[in-house]
Amino acid sequence: MNHRFEILEQSSGYRGFFRLEKYRLRHELFAGDWSSEIVRECLERGHAVAVLLYDPERDQLVLLEQFRVGALAFPGGPWLLEIVAGIIDHPGETTEDVARRETIEEAGCELLDLVPIHHYLVSPGGTSESITLFCGRIDAGTVVSGVRGVAAEHEDIRVHVVSRTEALALLHSGRINSAAPIIALQWLELNRSKLLERWRVAPG
């Protein structure tokens, strides 16, 4: 059930690569009254799309290794194993458009099919960012290995093609430790039989 809220004032605290908005607001309480005035900052960094690339014939996945500033102090360091992802940054661009564009840019291959997984908020206590998550069918034999990325965006991405079993081992060991690939891999394990049926691939 949604309750009412009221924005009393909104101002910009910072505008750079990201934007920080400051709010004075109040909202209805579960007891029926209104809260006192609350001050909150919200990071505005746009909305993103992420794609788990899966080859059902070879039972292989594509993982991307790259530097992430938010993981500087995280155990294991700031080079994370992730999945294809990108920001929706063109007017009129759909989530499917972003998924196809980023798959070509980051993995060097094309999507053969795209299956929605979930649309979720990343960390709603402090940012408005959401991610639309997909599973994309690919032919892993067409993946361009090595280092990829858009130089103008300072991307330095190492492409790994791994077995599904290896990817799950990386997940369980904690080597895969960011939200999108964790959610996507767990979804794949729960839904793989339906996915193979959709793609008319016999279970291996």
| DSSP result, 137-149 | E--GGG---EEE-
Helix, strand, coil in percent for the chain, rounding step 5:
25, 40, 35
Decide: helix, strand or coil at residue 177: coil
Catalytic residue among 6, 110, 153, 197: 153
**81: exposed, middle or buried (Cβ count in 10 Å: 0-12, 13-18, 19+):** buried
Active site residue 153: yes
Please check whether residue 11 is in contact with residue 21, taking contact to mean a CB–CB distance below 8 angstroms.
yes
Q: What is the CATH number of domain 48-198?
A: 3.90.79.10
- Please list the residues that pair with 138 across neighbouring strands: none
Print pLDDT tens along the chain (204 aa): 679 999 999 999 888 888 999 999 999 999 999 999 999 999 998 899 999 999 999 999 999 999 999 999 999 899 999 999 999 988 889 999 999 999 999 999 999 999 999 999 999 999 999 999 999 999 999 887 788 777 677 778 999 999 999 999 999 999 999 999 999 999 999 999 999 999 999 887
For 55, the 3-state DSSP assignment is strand
What's the whole-model pTM score?
0.91
CB atoms closer than 10 angstroms to residue 131: 20
What residue ranges do the domains of the chain occupy? Answer: 5-44, 48-198
